[in-house]
Structure 1
Amino acid sequence: MMSRWKLWLPLAILAFIGGLSLYGLTAPKDEFVRSQMIGQKLPTFELPPATDGIKGLSNRDFADGKPRLLNFFGSWCAPCKMEAPQLEALAAAGVEIHGIALRDRPEDVASFLKQYGNPFQRIGADVDMRLQVQFGSSGVPETYVISGDGRITYQHIGDIRSEHIPLLLEKLKEAR
């Protein structure tokens, strides 16, 4: 009787491992890393300008009572290029947008803005990505709604598409 049990044990273990693997492949996944900063005040920061002719950025630039967007981007980022028309549309609609250029050279940021437009009021350079890490951001592009008192109220992960604009405008209204 004991020997029969030993014969079936490897098959039972294999079936169990196969079942776990199958569950792992079919379980719904959240591929995005959500920021733990949602609802929190902006971290203290002071970033130099990312390129000539545009002011740098600090947390104090968000403390004037007006909600705005903060967009992490890179000139080297393909989805950032794809979202450029939507950022331009938001800026044309009166939305104030500040940018943070990640791991970028000033001449590359200038070239990006010349080619894809500049919806930004200010752009800070986060060369070593320290601020990105503080935000809990996992990639680019990533956009945050910042309330008038400097709180992070919403995180949009990935490129902004035309269908996302109404939600972002609603989140900006809520952030007043």
Structure 2
Amino acid sequence: MTASRTPEPRRLKLLAPLAAFAGFVIFAITGLFMQNSDLPSAFIGRQAPQTPLPALMDGEQDFNPQDFRGRVTLVNFWGSWCPPCREEHPVLMQLAREKTFDLVGVNYADRRTNALRFLSSFGNPYKTTGHDPTSKTAIEWGVYGPPETFVLGKDGTVLYRHIGVLTGDVITSTLRPIIETANAQ
């Protein structure tokens, strides 16, 4: 009679971390090649979450998505601690000069003093900025991490979500056509 051979417990203990590492590598490589459009957003085609926030700056209008109705609005989630947000900021400063939409910000997971210092140093492109230090609003919007930008139609419907740094190419090839279509409606 031949005994069936079972894996030794020691061998299994060695293979488990290797299998976990292999799974992580596959997950990471997949993420590198994933496009922004591959990341789902439950809000596309639906009303933006109604998440009022106090204004970051004294004298600024509070952040309230209901107030954005009637104009196409870009909602940009950012943090002073976020290196890609610094990279994106000059593009936002250029976008702010355009009159076909409003650009508003949500500063999240940040200290008010750090956020104000950031805007003082690099310029303030936003019509208003909500302060979300607990990230509750970012979570309600489904934000993965900064920077993220949402395009809202005149009726408050989420038309598009961009995850990552806005570049000139993204604005030209993706955002402007969406904004133009939304303004024509």
Structures share fold, TM-score greater than 0.5: yes
Indicate whether 1:169 and 2:176 are aligned. Answer: yes
Q: Distance in 2 between matches of 1:82 and 1:159?
A: 7
Is the CA contact (8 Å cut-off) linking 1:83 and 1:159 kept in structure 2? Answer: yes
Shift of 1:52: 2.2
Is the CA contact (8 Å cut-off) linking 1:73 and 1:99 kept in structure 2? Answer: yes
Q: Secondary structure at the match of 1:72?
A: strand
1:75-112 deviation line (CA, Å, top 9, x unaligned)? 11111111011011111122420000102222222211
Shift of 1:126: 1.1
**Equivalent pairs, count:** 170
2:148 is matched with 142
Tell me the percent identity: 31
Aligned residue among 149, 152, 157 for 2:163: 157
1:40-77 deviation line (CA, Å, top 9, x unaligned)? 1012221001122422201212212x112000001111
Q: If the length of structure 1 is used for normalisation, what is the TM-score? A: 0.81
1:98-148 deviation line (CA, Å, top 9, x unaligned)? 000102222222211111111100111112111111111110010000110
Q: CA RMSD in A?
A: 2.8
1:86-101 counterparts in 2 under 5 A? 86-94=91-99, 95-101=101-107
1:5-84 counterparts in 2 under 5 A? 29-30=30-31, 33-64=39-70, 66-84=71-89
Gaps spanning 5+ residues in structure 1: where? Answer: none
Q: If the length of structure 2 is used for normalisation, what is the TM-score? A: 0.77
Is the CA contact (8 Å cut-off) linking 1:51 and 1:109 kept in structure 2? Answer: no
Residue range with higher mean Cα deviation, 72-81 or 54-63: 54-63
Label 1:22 to 1:69 Cα distance change in 2 as closer, same or farther (>3 A): same
